[in-house]
Amino acid sequence: MAVQKHIGTRLITRLMHGWSRLSRGMTLGVKGVVIHPAGEILLVRHTYVPGWHLPGGGVEVGETAEHALVRELSEEVAVTLIGPPRLHGLLLNLNLARRDHVAVFVVEHFAQGRPDVPNREIREIGFFAPHALPEDTTGPTRRRIAEVLGGTPPSPHW
């Protein structure tokens, strides 16, 4: 009986994932490489995934990627853009799904208010020197910072 229940659960899970792939189009997220005038990079630590990440989030229906970046930076880290961000690249993120993409922007002209942290989404934020990133900074985050600061073209993959 337990084996049949396990097989039934697996079948339902596969059907739901299949339906999701058929019913959803491409997903798009944004990340910001926010660079302080002193050269430090702004990172966030979420409550729901391990490690330090670039701030960002999902692009909502009817929203441009740049508007999503502005919204997410304001909501997550109290950053207000005072100059246009620069698009670094549009990368395929196979870590989430075969159709997920991330638009990475470079933000150099901004003002920062007082973020309401910690909260239910963000545990901690901080500016870090590129050579002194926290040990648990994610690999993709480290690669994007290296690309932006080193002037190399973005990888096609997150």
pTM summary value: 0.83
- In SS3 terms, 21-37 reads as HHHCCCEEEEEEEEECC
- The C-alpha atoms of residue 106 and residue 84 are separated, in whole angstroms, by 9
Residue 20: the pLDDT is: 53
Q: What is the DSSP letter of 157?
A: B
For the segment(s) 26-150, the CATH number from 3.30.360.10, 3.30.1240.10, 3.90.79.10, 3.40.50.720 is 3.90.79.10
First to last CA, the chain: 43
- Over residues 7-24, the mean pLDDT reads 60
What is the pLDDT, as a whole number, of residue 55?
A: 98
